Amino acid sequence: MAKSSNTPRIPSFFTPYLVISFLLITLVLFQARAQDISKNFKETTENLISEAPKTFKGLNTILEPIKRDTSLMRYFANASEIGNYPEGISYALNELGISYRNYSLYSKAIKLHEKALEAANVNDNKEFQIYSFALLSAVYRRTEGIPSALDYAQKAVLLAENIENPNNHIKRNLNFTFNNIGHIYRTLGQYDLAIYNFKESAVLEEELGNSLGIATNYKDIGECLEAEGELEEALEYYERSLNLNKSAGSVRLDILSNLGIAHVYVHLGKAREAIEIFNTILKPAEELGDMKIISEIYVNIGWAQIKNNQIEEAEFNLNKGLEIAKKYNLLTEMEEAYSFLSELWEDQDDFKKSKEFFLKADEVEEKISNDRNKRYLADLVNRSETEKKNTQIEVLAKENEIINLRLRKNQNTLLISLLLVALLTIILYILYRQTQLRSDKKLLTLEQSMLRSQMNPHFLFNSLNSIKLYIINNEKKNAVFYLNKFSKLVRKILEASSVREIPLAEELETVELYMNIENIRFSNEIQFDIVVDEGIDTHIIKIPSLILQPFLENALWHGLSSKDGDKSILLHVSKGNNAYINIEITDNGVGRAVAERLKESKVLKRKSVGIAITKERLANFSKDYQNTFKLEIEDLFDPEGNASGTKVILRIPII
């Protein structure tokens, strides 16, 4: 007989009320906890803004535990902006950018790092500038924007190496940048240079005792060795990375090192072992949330399953990886997925599908190449035109040969049609590249000529000589004042020479610096004024960089240098019709006719090529607009008919 229980039973109709009560109590406790955290962080934020530490360590010591909380970091950034604390803004925005980068949201990450750099520039904080440069380089490298990545990396290295007694954070950023440069060379296929930079970074990380940094570089060296076909040595570096990471405890590095080991296993014919590793790291990767890694794992699982003859499973995983790659615009993973799908259907003798995926892979690969070329003009400078053409022809020929081999079993008509299409593509592509390269070469020639005219040795020598006179005459304030202006002018000229167009505001600031320097030699006799009409936003209007200086130089040396009495130059910016902006440069010099006679009488004649170069650059600039530029030069006369100066009228298209 069963023994009765003395424990009172709860009527069933009370159960829902108990569940609801429990949930309400939990919600209240959670809200109280959230309010407590919010209150504590608000106090922490107020204290940090009040103390305003200027170093990364001063902020990171307090904020490191919560710096991956995007809501708290955004709150700290906004509070720092209200409190006029640039270092706080830069720190918070950079950490937000890292979070977005880790979730493969690269465009958002770039914007955040750029704003962080702007904040670091407010107080010229070198440490935060280096940090922002390094992080921008990393994001651009992940998006395969090689020129921008290399540019920002070089800026970080130059800035860091010029700092005496750098702190550990600057050293870590330098190490990180060397690692990033290694990745850039790896993307370009220059594996020896990549391994060299990874080893340099590893040595520097060892000096800092950073096991995570060493392990990361070992993993990267393993990837380069694998790409070179040195599989056994690559496997050794992957395993060394895993062993070092045991103390560092980085989930991301653990995933990537295991991914590399599994990749090598597939190459070595150990597809089954590779699949086991891929499946082991898939869940941690999904928890990490890096969509690039997740997509790569799915694609590699599919690849290994092809080798293991698991066709249906391979197709599923390749399509899964492809879906993620498309969603987050991961071009490299898209290209790999299409290539493996082409291989899969070729093995099944379905050449129609194989061709379809092969062409898609080829299309994505071409898009990757085009994106890299468009990022920055320096890519074209680093290689000669002949090498580019030969390389492109060889690549296209190899691709054509691969297509022929894969489709050899098809009917003759299909093969002939495909060959004709391939040959036509080659011809059109070569014609297109030749046209593009000629245009780029002309643009580079103009930019180099322009820079040489701006950095005229006579101007540099005479400017420094004038400043030297201030020093000799013990006029220290004037010497320092003009030396600062001279250095700023040179920096602006060098910066502007690397871009095709700049805001009008920057151009006006540059020419004002130029006139200040040149005016030294005229004993500050020249009255130079800039007048901008109301309603003109000079920060929005774009013009070719360094376009006004040649006209001012002509006004100085041909119009005013031989004139007695008052000397003046007026630069007037006004709105033309809707399609133009007008820039007028008026001097009260001796006029062109007198200037030409004086020039012929001189023993040493100044050879001016600046105007001719400027016209060519304006013509090239105007190609992107509906209208072309207009340049007019008027001779001015007084009521008695005597020459009273010259007016240059420059109409630049803006629509």
Between 602 and 502, the more confident residue is 502
SS3 (DSSP) at 40 = helix
Predicted confidence (pLDDT) at residue 324 exceeds the cutoff of 50: yes
Single-letter amino acid code for the residue at 455: M
DSSP string, 296-348: HHHHHHHHHHHHTT-HHHHHHHHHHHHHHHHHTT-HHHHHHHHHHHHHHHHHT
Three-state secondary structure call for residue 162: coil
Tens digits of per-residue pLDDT, 474-505?
777 878 888 888 888 888 777 777 777 889 99
Instruction: State the number of CA atoms in the 13 A half-sphere of 605 facing the CB.
Output: 10
Q: Which residues contact 190 (CB under 8 A, 6 or more apart)?
A: none
- 131 pLDDT more than 70: yes
3-state secondary structure at position 530: strand
**Which band of pLDDT confidence, cut at 50, 70 and 90, is reported for residue 406?**
low
Residue 544 phi/psi, 5-degree rounding, is: -60, 140
In sequence order, the 6+-apart residues with CB closer than 8 A to the CB of 106 are: 100, 139, 142, 143
What is the pLDDT, as a whole number, of residue 293? 92
Name, in order, each residue with C-beta under 8 angstroms of 189's C-beta and a sequence gap of 6 or more: 227
Q: In this structure, what are the phi and psi dihedrals at residue 630, rounded to the nearest 5 degrees?
A: -130, 135
Nearest to 568 by CA among 646, 631, 481: 646
The vertex-169 CA angle with 165 and 171, nearest 5°, equals 55
- Look at residue 620 in the predicted model and tell me its pLDDT: 75
The SS3 call for residue 632 is: strand
Residue 284: which of 265, 263, 321, 259 has the closest Cα? 259
Res 248: pLDDT: 83
Predicted local distance difference test score (pLDDT) of residue 381:
40
Strands of 526-532's sheet in order across: 526-532, 567-575, 580-587, 643-653, 630-637
| Backbone conformation region of residue 189, classed left if phi is above 0, alpha if psi is from -120 to 50, else beta | left
For 472-505, b/e burial (b = at least 16 CB within 10 A) is: eeeeeebbeebbebbeebbebbeebbeeeebbbe
Residue 35 has pLDDT above 60, yes or no: no
Question: For residues 77 and 93, what is the distance between their CA atoms, to the nearest angstrom?
Answer: 7
Instruction: Label residue 290 left, alpha or beta by phi (over 0 means left) and psi (-120 to 50 means alpha).
Output: beta
Average pLDDT on 595-618 reads 66
Phi, psi of 530 (to 5 degrees): -120, 125
Q: DSSP 3-state assignment of 579?
A: coil
pTM passes above 0.75: no
Q: How many CA atoms, within 13 angstroms, populate the side-chain half-sphere of residue 375? A: 19
d(CA 449, CA 653) in angstroms, rounded, equals: 23
End-to-end Cα separation, the chain, in angstroms: 98
**pLDDT recorded at residue 432:** 74
Q: For 585-599, what is the mean pLDDT?
A: 83
pLDDT of residue 438: 67
- 500 with 621: CB under 8 angstroms? yes
Give Cα 173 distance to the centre of its chain: 17
Paired residues of 530 in beta bridges: 571
Burial class (CB in 10 A: 0-12, 13-18, 19+), 150: buried
CA–CA gap between residue 266 and residue 261 (Å, rounded): 9
Secondary structure of 442-498 in the HEC alphabet? HHHHHHHHHHHHHCCHHHHHHHHHHHHHHHHCCCHHHHHHHHHHHHHHHHHHHHHCC
Query: Virtual CA dihedral for 226, 232, 238, 240, nearest 10 degrees?
Result: -150
The number of residues making up the chain comes to 655
Give per-residue pLDDT as tens, 326-352. Answer: 998 888 899 999 999 998 998 888 888
With beta carbons less than 8 A apart as the criterion, state whether 154 and 178 touch: no
d(C-alpha 389, C-alpha 142), whole Å? 27
Residues 424-449: pLDDT tens digits?
Answer: 888 888 877 776 666 565 555 555 55
> What is the arithmetic mean of pLDDT over 55-60?
92
User: What digits encode the pLDDT tens for the residues 384-405?
Assistant: 443 445 455 566 666 667 776 7
The 10s digit of each residue's pLDDT in 456-469 is: 555 666 677 777 77
Alpha-carbon distance 330 to 459, whole Å? 50
Sign of the Cα pseudo-torsion (91, 95, 100, 106, in order): positive
Residue with tokens 């022929």: 404
187-240: pLDDT as tens digits: 878 899 889 999 988 888 888 888 888 999 999 999 899 889 999 999 999 999
Assign 603 to helix, strand or coil.
Answer: coil
The token pair at 402 is: 């691969």
The letter for the amino acid at 195 is I
